Amino acid sequence: MKISKTKIIKWCWIVFCAPFALLILMILLVMAGVFGSLPSFKDLENPQRKLATSIISADGVTLGTFHIENRSPVNYEDLSPNLVNALISTEDIRFYSHSGIDFSSLARVFVKTIIGGNRAGGGGGSTITQQLALNLFSERSTNKIKRTIQKLQEWITAVKIERSYTKEEIIAMYFNTVPFGSNAFGIRAASQTFFKKNPADLNIQEAAILVGLVNGPTMYSPVRNPERAFKRRNHVISQMNKYGFISQTESDSIKNIPIDMSKYSQQDHTSGQAPYFREMLKRVMNAKKPVQGNYNNDADFQYDLYQWENNPLYGWCNKNTKSNGENYNIDRDGLKIYTTIDSRMQLYAEQAIEEHLGKDLQPKFNKEIKTRKQLFTDLSKKEIDNIITIAIKQSDRYREMSKAGYSYSEILKSFDEPVKMTVFSWEKGSKDTVMTPRDSILYYKSLLRAGFMAVEPQTGHIKAYVGGINFKYFKYDAVYQGKRQVGSTIKPFLYTLAMQEGYDPCSELPCVQPRIEYRPGEFWEPKSTTREEHRGKMMTLKKALALSDNWISGHLIEIFGPQALVDMCHRMGIHSYLDAVHPLCLGSADISPFEMVGAFATFANKGVYVEPFFVTRIEDSKGNIISTFMPESREAISSETAYLMLNLMQSVVNHGTARRLRTLYIPEGQIAGKTGTSNSQSDGWFMGTMPKLTGGVWVGCEDRSVHFSNLALGGGSNMALPVWGLFMKKVLNDNRLNVSKNDVFEKPANITFDFDCDTVDTADTENADI
């Protein structure tokens, strides 16, 4: 059978045109949404991304992020030219000349890959804009048919993107959407993770490494696969040379530079500065309306309810909505939260705790435990076993094994079998070891914990906040959540009552043991460690506070009554429940460092209490201000009373239980302070203030039955005071921080006396009840 030439030509044209007709048909079907909807222009203007919320210090440093994906957007101006050049030369050299689809590149892919069969020779053919479309609006499919349809969707979306954005905006959006591995999404997170730099500061070799990662975050990871990363980086550098972005000399020189990952640090919720502060901030912003049944006492419930009703930051995410009516999500809405924290003071606070606890206090405590051959003191075997059992049941191991169906006896047996584990260590942050899970519990019980906060008394701005010794291992926040017995640091509030009622620092009371009948036939008789030579004589209030004498405190509480002390504490900012009993004057109450620091700052602020304050404003991902915040303040005591108390507490530092501040840390400058030690040395405190900065420290173990055996090591002057001293010494040495030894407490005009009534001998404080 003969086929006419006309038919042959006809079928040739059909075969030639069919693919193009099919392509056009497929494009029309894709545009019609048959295979799924395409992003609208509204979607293009507001692409849905999981953006990290940035927490920014008062001095402009990003302390860390809240995120599901660690991604913070940048603008084109924030990018190093090296990044842009590396990307264009490697991924899309005709980027500035096409409109979203590079037909020359597609033809190359078709010829080399489809016709020539060289699957490696054609490259991907996708432009930067197409890759952006994929990153923003879809996920790559492995099914060939679906991938073909997806490719057409990318083409159409890419053209739409080109019509909606400038080339520079597309470059910035691309860098914002790319995953770089190591939990870094977007170029800002990647720059910080791999090089501790901002994107604008990246050099050629660093930019080449990051651009090399976009096609294979794991394969070309400089951490996991350094050899592949080295080759990939050099390929990018060669491309930059090929297209004239760098010279041959530069290319050859840079290729010989080894990859430096010394600053690599994977960013997660435990990394960065001020992790305890950031977690507290998140907890406050995500708070829900308090329900009374969830509280152990009414005082805490009433305080949180007041915060919910009057503090706009408390529960902010549940009180504020976006334009679409949804509540803000702190982990994905890309907010910028501007805080009062000073990154330099924060660093000094973290260093102070590490230096004192890690290098001095913990080694001494370890030595004492080894010498006395027991961790817990004053407890029976049954009580110790109960503590360990509770710790076992609260552990992740117990919960996981219980969930997996293991019996209680099987779980307990596993706690006595040695296993490999990584535990916290002051030397390196962590150490690999082999021990039983039970022994690991005892090890952690032996570690001293700490909490520190510093505020600017005039504004209430929190400048430094350290809730524990290591957030990765110890999530509990000793500053905001922790409440421990405050010991003698409560005495300044008691003495404030006296100053308010007409006493002055030189007023005298008898140094004799009071016998106070608190119930018919029942008496309270406080003990004191004041030296024998002072007993039975009159003592000034100035000397009494410097010595932290309990008998004088007993006389004052007898004069004014426990309820007056409770009211004074509450007026000055303490909101915890306080039992109106006589021993309160010696610090029997459990109070948080957060409250104590806020209250002590009142003295330096002329009697005005300013609630500790830590966020100034919140912006959305586009930089629009959503909320601004102002601190709440009230007059708690008169400026005269505040000044008299500062005079009293300066004597504590200059001559009393806190005198080591002068001998070891800060010999000059006005400092008012008070040490505190709870029963059996379970808690050590120091509260101190200079005219422009107030700080407070708590140190102790997780369990109150684990502590030093004597006041020399376990008193507040040894456990807590050195942290304050180290911190403040660093602050004073930093001229950028506007805190100086020349700052003075302003004396009210109507106070004309200096109240230099007496001094305290060094020997007087050797056994003081501190």
CA–CA distances in Å: residue 660 to residues 139, 721, 768:
63, 8, 14
**What CA–CA distance (Å, rounded) separates 100 from 126?**
9
Structure confidence at residue 23 (pLDDT):
53
To 5 degrees, how large is the angle CA 620–CA 624–CA 630?
A: 90
Q: Tell me, what's the pLDDT at 119?
A: 46
pLDDT of residue 98: 84
pLDDT at res. 696:
98
Distance in angstroms (rounded) separating the CA atoms of residues 767 and 472:
38
The model's pTM is 0.83
How high is the pLDDT of residue 102?
A: 67
What pLDDT does 42 receive?
A: 55
**DSSP-assigned letters across all residues of 707-728:** --SSHHHHSHHHHTHHHHHHHH
Structure tokens at 350: 């973290």
Cβ density class 241-262: b for 16+ within 10 Å, e for less: beeebbeeeebeebbeeeeeee
CA distance 16 to 112: 19
Axis crossing angle, helix 491-500 with helix 593-604, rounded to the nearest 10: 30
Q: Element (H or E) spanning 697, and its range?
A: strand 693-701
pLDDT < 50 stretches in the chain: 32, 34-35, 116-123, 762-763, 766-767, 769
pLDDT, position 663: 95
767 φ, ψ to 5°?
Answer: -120, 25
Query: Please, are residues 53 and 337 in contact by the beta-carbon 8 Å criterion?
Result: yes
User: What pLDDT does residue 378 have?
Assistant: 84
421/440 Cα distance (integer angstroms): 9
pLDDT for 24 equals 59
State the pairing for strand pair 336-339/53-56.
Answer: parallel
Question: In sequence order, which ranges of 60-216 are alpha helices (DSSP H)?
Answer: 81-91, 103-109, 128-137, 144-164, 167-177, 187-195, 204-213
Tokens found for residue 32: 């019609």
Write the CA distances from 444 to 366, 425, 697, integer angstroms: 12, 10, 21
CA distance 519 to 644: 34
Query: Which pLDDT tens digit goes with each residue over 65-116?
Result: 888 777 778 899 999 999 999 999 999 898 888 877 765 655 555 555 555 4
